[in-house]
Amino acid sequence: MTVTLITGANKGIGFETARQLLALDHTVYIGARDAERGEKAAATFGARFVQLDVTDDASVNGALATIGSAEGRLDVLVHNAGVLGHGDIDGPKALRVFDTNAVGIVRVTEASLPLLRESSNPTVVTVSSSAGSFWAVNNPDRPESGLPLTLYSASKAAATMLTVQYAKSQPGIKFNAVEPGPTATDMTAEFGIGRSPEESAGVVVRFATLDADGPTGTLQDETGELPW
Ligand SMILES: NC(=O)c1ccc[n+]([C@@H]2O[C@H](COP(=O)([O-])OP(=O)(O)OC[C@H]3O[C@@H](n4cnc5c(N)ncnc54)[C@H](OP(=O)(O)O)[C@@H]3O)[C@@H](O)[C@H]2O)c1
């Protein structure tokens, strides 16, 4: 059985990714910062739950220790937890957005590396965003060029760069970033945009189920590789 951890999987794209990977016979750990929400989500389709707040070192280390004791390895890690942080900008909000969307990736990756190294086909997927792509935000033909999401875009640029840097420093592990596509979730609810989480999770699942000779160090959406 493939052992998979998804952060922020109690709802939205992470929840749907968990559901689809479980249907592919993965042993899925739903990471959620809130125990009640996480346990309820896991119980919906028989996944496992680990308390995991990506902004809290003790929580992250505890979650990976639980998986290590139970499974002895981690095959697939999906960095999905994220916040939008739109509206007025100040230092505390910037710290929160970067802590969740970028530093959280560092925390969870570092805690996961020993278990990923025990896998025969370790794969890490970062649910990033084309809003963090220089190419997309400077291209007037792309919707990202009109998005007033300063902190989100900057933190997702960091998330994507972390992905490519980890791909370089950890050649035995695949690291890819994905843009799932505009999706109707709580994150986007007030904008009224997006397709279903079921559809967007398909992109994440594709990169979570790569063969050993699959790509690494890329940013992709459902149409293929995106310029950065
Ligand atoms: N929706 C889109 O159009 C879109 C497009 C491109 C990329 N994305 C990315 O897709 C990912 C999932 O977003 P979504 O649209 O599914 O949004 P969502 O429904 O708001 O889900 C976000 C998830 O992240 C969790 N989370 C937030 N802060 C956390 C923390 N500190 N520790 C652990 N979990 C935390 C949330 O948990 P709580 O329930 O506890 O808040 C929730 O489970 C995000 O990384 C987002 O940036 C989304």
Q: What is the average per-residue pLDDT within 70-97?
A: 98
Whether pLDDT at 228 is above 90: no
Ligand 1 pocket test: which of 10, 13, 17, 149 has the largest number of ligand atoms within 8 Å of its C-beta? 13
Digit-coded pLDDT (tens) for 6-35: 999 999 999 999 999 999 999 999 999 999
38 lines ligand 1 (CB under 6 A): no
126 lines ligand 1 (CB under 6 A): no
Digit-coded pLDDT (tens) for 95-145: 999 999 999 999 999 999 999 999 999 999 999 999 999 999 999 999 999
168 CA distance to ligand 1 middle (Å): 26
- Domains belonging to the chain, first-starting first, are 3-225 (3.40.50.720)
81 CA distance to ligand 1 middle (Å): 5
Q: Which among 59, 112, 119, 129 is annotated as catalytic?
A: 129
Q: For this structure, is 156 an active site residue?
A: yes
- CB count, 10 Å around CB of 170? 17
Pairs from 95-100 (Cβ < 8 Å, separation ≥ 24): 96/55, 97/151, 97/152, 97/155, 98/151, 98/154, 98/155, 98/158, 99/54, 99/55, 100/54, 100/55, 100/155
Q: For this structure, is 129 an active site residue?
A: yes
